[in-house]
Structure 1
Amino acid sequence: MPLGVVVRRMPGVTRWAKWSWKAVAVLPGAGQANWQLLREEGEAREFHAATVPLELHRAEAEAYKQGLTATPPSVYVVLREDASLDPPLEVTLVTASPFEAQDYADNGEDLVEKIAMPEGLVAWVQQFTDAHFKQEEFKKRRRDKRTVGEAEDGIGDVRIKQVADVYRAPGQIRKERLQ
């Protein structure tokens, strides 16, 4: 599903950052856009920055289910700074998976924004999740009782013949034999 990403530009609060950028909304089914001005209020401006596809994959159904349980259910917009562009941001990805968003947040290079899903988008993701999510049955792994304690791998030194001397160092045995 194509999602338009709305980005707000506000004046920076420090002398080192002229502008502060934040993704604030998504527009389901939006057409193509390239930083189209939507609204202006004083120095604050909102742009329809880009339209990117929201792709859902069956293997990620558990992650989408987890994301739908959040209050409110959210999508995550990944923005990447690129000084060669004007404005200096690129909309990299929109995802419904909180796990994938965490991966992008962990790299420290990208800006990840959590945005509440519109109701129609919640219904679409919920329908996909219901169709593809399969709860995996938990199976406790059990140890094979036959092999426990049969072999003492790695114990002692093979040059020592007596069972009682298994932990004794070979050097001590040679000294005892020489005496």
Structure 2
Amino acid sequence: MTTATQGKPSLNAWPLWVLLEKKITLSRGWESISWQVAEISQQPLDNPEATALELQLFRDERSAYRFNLSSQAPKVFVICRELDDQVWVPHKVTVCQDVAADSMDAGQPVLDIPMPTAIHAWLEAFMAHHGEWVDPREANRRLRGQPKPEKNTTGAKP
């Protein structure tokens, strides 16, 4: 995290502190360990295990942000690193489901939490500032069965 962005969100970066919680449960006599996000905060957490991360937004991920925002339950994703002894440490925080899915495909643990209202509003402001992203390939596609527009080869105006 850069010192310039520490504490206050900018248009495309927000410093956050993430604290994970380890849960040990018994199932039919066997211990099972699971992890969850205990807390995510804009302010430094008074816990030595809290990790400072920066939530960064990128213009080329706007369609994925809109997909997340449009879902019934928008989420913040915490990508973790697994250390020895089944210990997870937060590594990256994102609101892009594509980034979270890529991390899961790479074998990294990913946790999620409901998106806090403040992050939701900040993400909407980012989208409003940069506009909705439209895939340029989509503009070149024609609807199936629709004829190509006729070209004027004579040079005369129609």
TM-score, normalised to structure 2, is 0.68
Aligned to 2:53: 52
1:129 to 127, 131, 147: 127
Which structure carries more relative contact order (alpha carbon 8 Å, separation 6+)?
2
Q: Distance in 2 between matches of 1:105 and 1:23?
A: 16
Contact 1:101–1:112, Cα closer than 8 Å, also in 2: yes
The residue correspondences of 1:1-179 to structure 2 (distance < 5 A) are: 1-13=14-26, 17=31, 19-27=33-41, 29-31=42-44, 34-35=48-49, 49-83=50-84, 88-108=87-107, 110-132=108-130, 133-136=132-135, 138-140=139-141
Distance 1:2 1:139, change over 3 A: same
Identity between Structure 1 and Structure 2 (%)? 28
Q: Whose radius of gyration is greater, 1 or 2?
A: 1
Counterpart of 1:94 in structure 2: which amino acid?
Answer: V
Contact 2:20–2:89, Cα closer than 8 Å, also in 1: no
Q: Distance in 2 between matches of 1:62 and 1:19?
A: 35
Structure 2: give runs of 5+ residues left out of the alignment: 1-13, 149-158
Aligned length: 126
RMSD: 2.6
TM-score, normalised to structure 1, is 0.60
- SS of structure 2 residue aligned to 1:11: strand
Distance 1:18 1:74, change over 3 A: closer
Structure 1: give runs of 5+ residues left out of the alignment: 36-48, 144-179
